[in-house]
Amino acid sequence: MTKIVLPGFEQSLLVNRFFPATEKGNEAINIEGCDVQTFSLEFPPGTKRPAHKHDEYRITFVRAGTMAIEMEGKVLNMVPGDFMTTLPQTLHSLEVTSSEPLSIVEIVVPVSPGD
């Protein structure tokens, strides 16, 4: 199975590490022997991502800022401390609703054959 590699991300192996909410950066953490990856993402105020789908399961944690996610005909307003799960092939869009950047962490789990 191929791991996701986003442009501009530093790749590193999972280690014992603290990620303070104020830390910014794009880092893809590979878990050795496993296809799970963790991404730290930041979007500037006013960012709108059009409706899209992912091939993987995703768990998204909001670290700073706020966003509105439209998914399955509902709008979810997310604030720091909130998290959500998204199944593969779920159509969704997002908009940063805060005047500060949105900082999120995503755990990405590829679909296993047979899922």
Residue-range definition of the domain harbouring residue 70: 24-109
- Provide the domain count of the chain: 1
Rounded to a whole number of angstroms, the CA Rg of the chain reads 14
Answer whether residue 87 is part of any domain: yes
CATH of the domain at 99: 2.60.120.10
Answer whether residue 114 is part of any domain: no
Answer whether residue 93 is part of any domain: yes
Answer whether residue 38 is part of any domain: yes
pTM: 0.74
End-to-end CA distance of the chain: 14
Q: What is the pLDDT of residues 12-66, one digit of tens each?
A: 655 555 566 666 555 666 666 667 778 888 999 999 999 999 988 888 999 999 9
Greatest alpha-carbon span in the chain: 43
